[in-house]
Amino acid sequence: MAGQRLAGIVSRSDVIALLTTEWACQVCGQTERGQNPPPRCPTCDAGKNRFTQQAPPPGS
């Protein structure tokens, strides 16, 4: 909501997509979940460009 107006709707598929999108750091292997890769790896401090998106598990 934005004041008294509807600003958007979050669907169940939006939540599932967010929870199943996983990024792996190519330097240390640390994984993070989210729609986009993190700006820096919390373990080795590698930049955003060092993350690759992992394939979702079968059936998700």
- The pLDDT tens digits of the residues spanning 3-22 come to 888 888 888 887 877 777 89
Specify whether the CB–CB gap between 56 and 19 falls below 8 A. Answer: no
Specify whether the CB–CB gap between 39 and 48 falls below 8 A. Answer: yes
Q: Distance (Å, rounded) from C-alpha 15 to C-alpha 25?
A: 23
Q: Distance (Å, rounded) from C-alpha 4 to C-alpha 15?
A: 24
- What global pTM score does this model have? 0.65
Using 50, 70 and 90 to split pLDDT, how confident is the model at 46? very high
Take residue 56 and report the two structure tokens written for it.
């979702």
